[in-house]
Amino acid sequence: MQTINLMVDGGAAKAGASLGTTLGPLGLNLNQIVLDINEKTKNFAGIQVPVKLEVDPKTKEYTITVGTPPTSQLIKSKIKLEKGSGNTGNETIGDISLEELKSVAKAKIDTNITISETNMLKQVIGTCISMGLTIDGKNAKEVIKTIQ
């Protein structure tokens, strides 16, 4: 088995040069793989999603495993934000509700069973700090103190 790790736009992967050069030498049907990836990632439209492709070079059989998008991608999709702050700590560029963050933490904890829900929520809030976001109009660092 050969493992290939990819980062694709949810539901919108393309059979471009990056995939072609990686998968071409394996003799796989690139268009079918792209269709399969897009089908499996369609619920993450507009979000970068990690995908693991395991290929048996002899039989040409493959499996696709979709990972959880990065926390920042999930947050950006919740509040329709293009990018985080370029001046972390000195610039606030948006606000997100604690309920929205809880849903992000829940999505992330499904892939990380070794961490408590509270600690995962604190990690997600930490991402908000680096992105320049407030939570329900409050400073994210203060929200973390409240949760503790």
Compute how many other C-beta atoms are within 10 angstroms of the C-beta atom of residue 86. Answer: 9
Q: What is 71-147's CATH topology?
A: Arc Repressor Mutant, subunit A (1.10.10)
| Pairing of the two strands 94-96 and 133-135 | parallel
DSSP annotation of 79? H
Q: Per-residue pLDDT for 114 more than 80?
A: no
Query: Which pLDDT tens digit goes with each residue over 60-99?
Result: 899 999 988 888 888 988 888 888 777 777 778 889 999 9
Q: What is the mean pLDDT of the chain?
A: 86
Q: How much of the chain exceeds pLDDT 70, in percent?
A: 96
- pTM of the model as a whole: 0.69
Mean pLDDT of 51-58: 91
Q: Which residues are paired to 7 by β-bridges?
A: 50
Q: Identify the residue whose tokens are 């933490």.
A: 105
CATH 1.10.10.250 in the chain is located at 71-147
The superfamily in CATH containing domain 2-66 is Ribosomal protein L11/L12, N-terminal domain (3.30.1550.10)
Domain with CATH 3.30.1550.10 in the chain: 2-66
Quick check: 60 and 118 in contact, CB under 8 A?
A: no
Q: In a 3-state reduction of DSSP, which class is residue 66?
A: strand
CB 122 within 8 A of CB 147: yes
Q: What stretches of the chain adopt beta strand conformation (E)?
A: 2-9, 48-55, 62-66, 94-96, 133-135
**Nearest 10 degrees: Cα torsion 93, 136, 141, 100:** -90
